[in-house]
Amino acid sequence: MILSSQSASDIPAIIDRAIEQNPHAENLLRAFGPIILRERELAAGLALPPLDVSQIDRERLKAGVPVNRQIDLFPSGNDWKAVALALAAAIGEGLPSLAGEMNRLSEWIAAGKIRPADFFSSAAPASDGTGGAAQKNLALSPSNISFLMSLVARVILEARAKEAAKALDDGVWEKGYCPICGAFPSVALIEEQGGKRFLHCSACGQDWRYTRVSCPYCEKEAQSGMEYFYVENKTQESAFICDQCKKYLVTLYRVGHVLARDMDVSAISLVHLDMIMQDKGFAPMTLCSWNVLK
């Protein structure tokens, strides 16, 4: 198992290098740069009660039950207000068009009219994760509330993933969805030496190894109906496509380990492949704020 989310200090240089390699993605990378930077800072500094990894059942992992369905990864007793306010400011910095809405959200959060913890409580009502009551009573956009809370969840889950990964020895997890939170991958990386494929979860930052002969989404295993799409002169970037489920997964090839890489930055830099694949009628394996293009 590897975790490819880099420390905050590495992020600016990684983004600059990604823009140099894929200038078409500069606007997106500049927009999400402050958000990713703040996520890394918050996850690294988050003080959480220790996770009891002894409660993670390896047999259930082998059967495909992710960690978040075995133990609660969102500890009670924290309102997550400081995390939400910091991320709202980062969204406003990177996406100025949302600054006004994020300022209003921050005011309600600071005043206690919106409690981020309610979005992650097992007792919280409902299913859309957008804070229906807050949306109706406070006239806030449900999509913007959902966006902010997904980032708060990412910070908490990233911190938890580093602990939970201790239970994830090689071979214990064989599914195409994340062993920590159950989300499908946003990007894959293939090591050119040895050909190992690693999948990356944008919801919690976890990476895990997965076979190259099977579709992570529908688990189809066949020689035909699965292939990689390449753009001319971009041999280290591709999109894995499956004709059975009509899903695609943007994919990178790595030679050596000289340069630091952040997989979220890498996924955003491959947005040109998202555009091509969606125009061809394929859908991403997971929806991210940067790959919803239609």
State residue 136's pLDDT score: 52
Q: Which whole number is the average pLDDT over 72-76? A: 89
H helices of the chain, in order, are 11-21, 26-45, 58-62, 81-94, 99-110, 132-138, 142-164, 263-269, 271-279
> What does the pLDDT look like over 105-143, one tens digit per residue?
999 999 999 999 999 875 433 334 444 444 455 567 888
Give the pLDDT band (50/70/90) at residue 7.
Answer: confident
Per-residue confidence band for 221, with pLDDT thresholds at 50, 70 and 90? confident
Mean pLDDT of the chain: 88
How big, in percent rounded to 5, are the helix, strand and coil portions of the chain? 45, 15, 45
Residue in 241, 294, 228, 236 with CA at minimum distance from that of residue 266: 236
Q: What is the pLDDT of residue 121?
A: 72
Least confident stretch, 68-77, 152-161, 219-228: 219-228
**DSSP-assigned beta bridge partners for residue 209:** 198
Per-residue pLDDT tens digits for 180-203: 999 999 999 998 777 899 999 999
The DSSP letter of residue 23 is G
Q: Where are the domains of the chain?
A: 24-167
